[in-house]
Amino acid sequence: MQSITIKGSQRESVGKAASKALRNAGQVPCVLYGGDSVLHFSAPEAAFKSIVYTPNVYTAAIELGGKSYAAILQDIQFDPVSDKIIHVDFYQLHDDKEITIEVPIKITGTSPGVMAGGILRIVNRKLKVKALPAKLPDFVEVNISGMEMGNKLYVTKLPQEDYKIMHPDNTVVCQVRISRAAMKAAQEAAKAEKGAKKKK
């Protein structure tokens, strides 16, 4: 999984007044959980653009006082009026501990059903996966090559060698729906066939 470096500064004061002063200075108050102790720090708002405003998922290398911590974004709060980032929570990653994270799906292949006029409907654009940090995928590949019109693709059909998909087996990832045009064509073909049989 791709990683983004965030250079932060540890903060001593964690009250509302201190947090407000940081925001006024263009800094975002942050907390890093999951380590030996909870770390409070701040980082420039611009540092979060690559990790927040994207459908992709990244781990973060948080640099504080000469040390680097591998982490994932756990929670983010926005100002309801300005939509600016006002607080970020991170969770520290450990090489030997599995973690659950949501990653996007990536559609590959060509569906015969879509080629025949069906419509591909994506039900779940992101899936929860569980893996060791080194095995976390950037995305889950969803191959639709075998999908005919009317077919549904369940999570059980997806690769899970390096990670486990944390959804019930009956979770639908995508389906090929019959379009109105295809349905109409099928009905007309059925009528024509019925008419031809009557003539015989």
Please write the tens of the pLDDT for every residue from 4-59. Answer: 889 988 887 777 888 888 888 888 899 999 888 889 999 998 888 877 777 778 88
CA atoms of 71 and 62, how far apart (whole Å): 7
Q: What is the pLDDT of residue 193?
A: 66
Q: What is the mean pLDDT of residues 52-80?
A: 86
Q: Report whether pLDDT(200) > 60.
A: no
Kindly report the pTM of this predicted structure.
0.74
Residue 196 has pLDDT above 70, yes or no: no
Q: Summarize the chain as % helix, strand, coil (round to 5).
A: 25, 40, 35
Q: What share of the chain has pLDDT > 90, as a percent?
A: 40
100-137 confidence digits (pLDDT tens)? 989 999 999 999 999 988 899 999 999 999 999 989 99
Q: Could you give the residue ranges of the DSSP H alpha helices within 25-160?
A: 49-52, 112-115
Domains of the chain in sequence order: 3-93 (2.40.240.10), 100-198 (2.170.120.20)
- Yes or no: say if 77 and 20 are a contact pair by the CB < 8 Å rule: no
Within 70-179, where are the H helices? 112-115
Mode of pairing for the β-strands spanning 59-64 and 85-92: unpaired
Most confident of 55-59, 84-88, 131-135, 169-173: 169-173
Per-residue pLDDT, 116: 87
Angstrom CA distances, 177 to 108, 109, 115, 182, 190, stand at 18, 17, 12, 10, 19
pLDDT given for residue 175 in this prediction: 95
